[in-house]
Chain A
């Protein structure tokens, strides 16, 4: 079946550096993509989303890039902080799926001092 996947299961980043988390998706019908952050012992927390009619969207310290040609999604975190340590998930869905999210496998981000 079609799936969403991540290239790196663990990403170690030095505090203050920029982080880039990548995600590949294979469902060409997906038109809405979301990044979630999950801290230990907590539920996924919405970070930022992007719709398929855009290729870039910026939030506070985060930027999501969407490349529909190669079906690739990335999350960039600027000036990574210790509080950014978490598992990051990309998720995809399509407009006519009643909000059904298909999640990727997750990337563990570890911020080192």
Chain B
């Protein structure tokens, strides 16, 4: 069983389009994340949600809008796609994240390869 699953795995789209990436975790975790990995394989956090509430927003353009309908899902919607948005987007989740507690293991999905042409 896949713990953190993302769809689609591959997405090729034209500049200016709007697209969404969906993520679901079946681990019962409270916290979900979106990370972006660029062409040099550098991984950087974009967003984090804890129990459907946004807790981290790392200076991401407002064309990117995460949505968490419930704590098992965190979707990423991207408006007006630009060439620089081409990257691999990873969803992740962890349990028991809180500001006064040491973090638990963060589990990553398989990634969504976005290519903007």
Give the contact stretch, choosing among A16-24, A43-51, A64-72, A76-84. Answer: A43-51
Task: Check if A101 is an interface residue, CB within 8 A of chain B.
Answer: yes
Instruction: Say yes or no: B103 contacts A95, CB within 8 Å.
Output: yes
- With the chains together, A101 CA to B23 CA distance in Å? 19
- With the chains together, A97 CA to B99 CA distance in Å? 6
Set A38, A41, A98: member contacting B50, Cβ < 8 A: A98
Set of chain A residues within 8 Å of B110, measured between Cβ atoms: 41-43
How many residues of B sit at the interface, in one of the four size bands? 20 to 34
Set B42, B97, B99, B105: member contacting A103, Cβ < 8 A: B42
Instruction: Say yes or no: A99 contacts B42, CB within 8 Å.
Output: no
Set of chain B residues within 8 Å of A46, measured between Cβ atoms: 105-107
Task: Check if B48 is an interface residue, CB within 8 A of chain A.
Answer: yes
CB-CB nearest in chain B for A36: B108
Instruction: Say yes or no: A99 contacts B94, CB within 8 Å.
Output: yes
Task: Check if A2 is an interface residue, CB within 8 A of chain B.
Answer: no
Chain A's nearest CB lies how many Å from the CB of B111?
5
- With the chains together, A60 CA to B111 CA distance in Å? 26
Instruction: Say yes or no: B48 contacts A105, CB within 8 Å.
Output: no
Set of chain A residues within 8 Å of B90, measured between Cβ atoms: 43-44
Give 3 closest A-B pairs by Cβ, nearest first: A43-B108, A99-B103, A99-B97
